[in-house]
A and B are shown apart, each in its own frame.
Chain A
Amino acid sequence: MTSMTLDLHEDESRRAQKAADRWLIVGSILMGSLVLGPLGLPVFCRGIYLLHKAQTAGLSVRPMMVTLIGYVIIIDAAINSIGWGLDVFANHALITRTIFTAWGNLMDGGYFWHYNELWIGGAGAPGEKSWIIICIVVVFPMRIAAGIAFLQMRRWGHQWMIVTCWFGLITWLGYIINMTMYADVRYAGVAFPVIGWWLYNIFYITPFLAIPYLHTVNREIFSD
C-alpha cells in the first residue's frame, strides 16, 4: 500500500467510526434513560450495522466486542443510577413512591417494607441504602468513565474496565448475601419472591460477561 492510500484508508476508517458512534451514542443515551429504551434500541442497532459494514469493507474500526462491552456497561450503569438516584433524591415523588413500592411488593420487599420511613427516605431494608449510595456515588460514575475510555481504546480504559467489572462481582455478591441475611424482609408477602427477582435482574450480569474478554483480548490493541 502506498502512503497515499494508507492515509485514505485511515481517513475513511475514522469517518466510518465516527458515523457509527454518532448512532451508538444517541441510542445509548436513549436506552440509558430506561423509559425511552425502545426508541434507543433501533438507533443503536443502526450504529452496530454501520460498524459491521465498515468492518466487512476492510476498514480499521473498533472491534465489535469492544463496542458492545463499552456501551452495554455504560447503559447498565446508567439505568441503575436512574433507579437508585430516584430512591435517594426523589423518594417522595409520586412516580417513585408508586412504582418503587409496587415493584417492591411484586419482587423485592426491600422496596416496600417501611418504605419512606428512614430519615433519608426511600428503601429502608437493612443494608440496602449503603449499597445504593456506594454504587451511585462511586461504582457507576467510575464505570461510565471506564466505559468511555474503553470505547476510545485507551489503555487505562481497558485497565479500569477490569477493575470495575471485578468490583461488579463484589457488589453483586455483597448485595445478594445481604438480601439473603434479611430474606424475610425482602421476600415475605411478595408476589414473586426470589425467582422473580432473579428473572428481572439477570440481564444486569454484563460485567461478568466482560471479564473473560478483558483478560483474553490482545491488550496491545489498547494504546496510551
Chain B
Amino acid sequence: MTENELPVGTTPPFARMHRWLKRGLFVCLFGLVIEGALTVPALALWYGWPSLSLTEICSELMKVRYSDDSLDCTQPYPLSGPPFGGAPEGAGQQTARDQWGIQPVPQYPRVGFRELVRIHDEREATDSR
C-alpha cells in the first residue's frame, strides 16, 4: 500500500496494526450491541419468564438470597426508598446464610436453568394442600 492510499493519520509502519485495531473495534461494537440487547430477555427466560412474572422471579431470587421462603419483593417499592433516605428492602434481615469472616462465603445454593419455575410450582402445590 502506498502512502497515498493510507487513511489520514496512519503512517506506513503502523498501517497493519491500525487495520487489526479497526477489526477489533468492529467486533467489540457488534458484541456490545447484540449482547446488550439480549441481556434482559435472556435473563428473564433463564429464570422462568413467561411461566413466572418478573415480580415472581424477583421474589424467588429473594427467597434464595435470604434463605427464607416467606419473603416477597415489595412491588412497587416506595419512591422514598434508597438512595433517597428510606430503608432498603433487605434491611435488618437475619436469615441469609453466610460463612462470616474477613472474606465472607455465601451459602446459598446454585440455581440452574429455569429451576425457579420448579421451586415456585412445588411451593404452590405444597401450600394448596
Contacts and interface: CB of A to CB of B under 8 A. Distances in A.
Contact of B7 (A65, A188, A203, A204): A65
Interface in B18-37: 18, 21-22, 24-37
A22 to B, nearest CB: 18
A100 to B, nearest CB: 9
Interface residues of A, number: 70
A62 to B, nearest CB: 8
Interface residues of B, number: 61
Q: DSSP majority for the A interface? A: helix
Contacts of B107: 188-189
A88 to B, nearest CB: 6
A137 interface: no
A101 B64 CA distance: 11
Interface of A: 31, 34-38, 40-41, 44, 55, 60, 63-66, 68-69, 72, 75-76, 79, 88-89, 91-95, 97-99, 101-103, 105-106, 109, 112-122, 181-182, 184-185, 188-191, 200, 202-206, 209-210, 212-213, 216-218, 221
25 contacts: A37-B32, A41-B30, A60-B8, A63-B9, A76-B32, A89-B83, A95-B40, A97-B89, A98-B57, A98-B73, A103-B43, A114-B96, A115-B65, A117-B93, A119-B88, A120-B83, A121-B82, A188-B106, A188-B107, A189-B108, A191-B111, A204-B32, A212-B21, A213-B17, A216-B18
